[in-house]
């Protein structure tokens, strides 16, 4: 059954606390997105918040995966939660003091997500050990459901309470969620890998071994490349949404929270539907379809002008994003040896985050230089090219391009 992993008491307890923490993380993310629009109207700086959110994951995921396998996943998870709690409280204090600036917000966002980068490989690998092997993919889908239901709730709270409470109190709530997670993880999680002494040399060696794993399992090459391409183009939506809603369309802050929540609602639809789609469609077909939907979303977002139109677009985007995340995460957690899973997931997050950091930055630059409509049009064209490569294969795509150019030349 879809919900069968929740019958496991340990998985259920951890799932619930992660739901609360995820809701507060999304509350924090939207709060930072609204705050940056109050501090600056620059599309480039607004988009850099997205880059600062994912760049630490790009830089640290492989070392974090190595650390998780060496010193123990539980220890690393608790340390990362404590680090994120500290940074969230510091952000609250800076905001209360009135000293927050655009660059300071981008910098502290980078530091906060450094903790997330350390946490994710260990947490993803640990989550897959809390249920029987036959339920790992469904547990991944439920974790994604938790993440995306919280994506509906957290942004809505941030949008509504930003004007009433201010960013400082919302940052504090996120810090509190990390402290609660530490208590639950300390009592509930028992990891199989032992805590061992670790040196810089061991981490360096482990990073090299992780890269070698990429060659040892050639089947993951396609997963990583597809993940990079999908998240590269799709990250433009996350990076530009605050600018589009608050600066370009001059909508109230609450609308940004509601639109981000619509992404979560679309992901909820996928969390239920993917259980049945997996019985009829391959992982390749699912991710190819999600890229097509994302292409449509990016282009349509450039045309949408009302809140209702944008809400529908973001609902579809949430469905598309969640399909890809579910397939990529589920495959890595179910199809590879558990003793190297943290490092493989760390390597996956390099592609996952690097593509978003680069995509978010480029989308900001394009918007700054060409305007929002032209920027989204360029990105959607690039996304369509990638879709044809996905669907037809590189050789077939080249054939179509050559044929098209010949037709133009002959006419």
Q: Is the pLDDT of residue 179 over 90?
A: yes
DSSP string, 349-384: HHHHHHHHHHHHHHHHHHHHHH-HHHHHHHHHHHHH
- 52 versus 394: which is more confidently predicted? 52
Helix 253-277 vs helix 219-242: angle between axes, to the nearest 10 degrees?
A: 160
Q: 54 with 356: CB under 8 angstroms?
A: yes
| Residue 326 CB burial class (10 angstroms; 0-12, 13-18, ≥19) | buried
CATH assignment of the domain containing 367? 1.20.1250.20
Per-residue pLDDT tens digits for 260-291:
889 888 877 876 676 677 677 777 788 888 88
Domain count, the chain: 1
Residue 115 to residue 339: CA distance in whole angstroms: 23
Continuous H helices in 166-218: 167-188, 200-216
The predicted model scores a pTM of: 0.75
- 194 versus 155: which is more confidently predicted? 155
Q: Please name the residues in contact with 5: beta carbons below 8 A apart, sequence gap of 6 or more.
A: 11, 15, 130, 131, 135, 138, 139, 142
How large is the average pLDDT for residues 238-243? 91
Query: Given this model, what pLDDT does residue 409 score?
Result: 62
Mean pLDDT across the chain, nearest whole number? 81
The CB-side HSE value for 405 (13 A sphere, CA atoms) comes to: 6
Q: 240 is written with which tokens? A: 């530009």
The CB-side HSE value for 352 (13 A sphere, CA atoms) comes to: 24
Per-residue pLDDT tens digits for 291-312:
899 999 999 998 998 999 999 9
Per-residue pLDDT tens digits for 63-72:
777 777 666 6
Q: Please name the residues in contact with 200: beta carbons below 8 A apart, sequence gap of 6 or more.
A: none
Note down the domain range covering 65: 4-410
Q: Given pLDDT bands bounded at 50, 70 and 90, which one contains residue 180?
A: very high
Q: Given pLDDT bands bounded at 50, 70 and 90, which one contains residue 237?
A: very high
Q: Given pLDDT bands bounded at 50, 70 and 90, which one contains residue 388?
A: confident
């Amino acid at each position: 059954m879809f919900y069968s992993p929740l019958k496991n008491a340990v998985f259920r307890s951890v799932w619930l606390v992660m739901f609360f923490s995820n809701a507060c993380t999304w509350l924090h993310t939207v709060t930072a997105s609204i705050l940056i629009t109050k501090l600056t109207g620059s599309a480039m700086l607004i988009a850099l918040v997205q880059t600062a959110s994912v760049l630490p994951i790009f830089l640290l995921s492989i070392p974090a995966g190595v650390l998780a396998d060496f010193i123990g996943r539980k220890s690393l998870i608790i340390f990362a939660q404590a680090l994120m709690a500290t940074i969230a409280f510091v952000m609250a204090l800076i905001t209360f003091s009135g000293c927050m600036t655009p660059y300071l917000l981008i910098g502290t966002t980078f530091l906060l997500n450094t903790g997330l980068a350390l946490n994710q490989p260990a947490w993803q690998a640990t989550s897959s050990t809390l249920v029987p092997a036959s339920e790992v993919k469904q547990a991944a889908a439920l974790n994604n459901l938790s993440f995306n239901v919280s994506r509906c709730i957290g942004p809505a709270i941030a949008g509504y309470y930003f004007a009433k409470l201010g960013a400082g109190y919302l940052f504090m709530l996120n810090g509190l969620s990390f402290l609660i997670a530490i208590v639950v993880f300390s009592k509930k999680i028992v990891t199989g890998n032992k805590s061992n002494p670790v040196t810089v040399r061991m981490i360096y060696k482990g990073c090299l071994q992780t890269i070698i794993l990429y060659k040892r399992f050639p089947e993951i090459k396609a997963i990583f490349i597809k993940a990079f391409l999908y998240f590269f183009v799709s990250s433009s939506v996350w990076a530009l949404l605050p600018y589009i809603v608050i600066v370009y369309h001059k909508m109230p802050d609450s609308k940004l929270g509601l639109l981000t929540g619509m992404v979560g609602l679309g992901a909820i639809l996928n969390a239920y539907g993917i259980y049945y789609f997996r019985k009829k469609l391959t992982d390749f077909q699912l991710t190819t379809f999600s890229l097509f939907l994302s292409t449509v979303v990016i282009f349509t977002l450039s045309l949408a002008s009302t809140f209702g139109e944008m809400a529908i677009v973001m609902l579809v985007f949430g469905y598309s994003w969640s399909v890809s995340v579910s397939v990529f995460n589920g495959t890595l957690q179910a199809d590879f040896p558990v003793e190297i899973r943290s490092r493989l997931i760390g390597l996956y997050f390099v592609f996952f985050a690097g593509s978003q950091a680069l995509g978010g930055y480029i989308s900001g630059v394009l918007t700054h230089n060409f305007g929002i409509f032209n920027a989204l049009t360029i990105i959607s064209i690039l996304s369509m090219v990638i879709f044809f490569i996905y669907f037809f294969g590189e050789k077939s795509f080249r054939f179509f391009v050559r044929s098209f150019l010949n037709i133009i030349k002959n006419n």
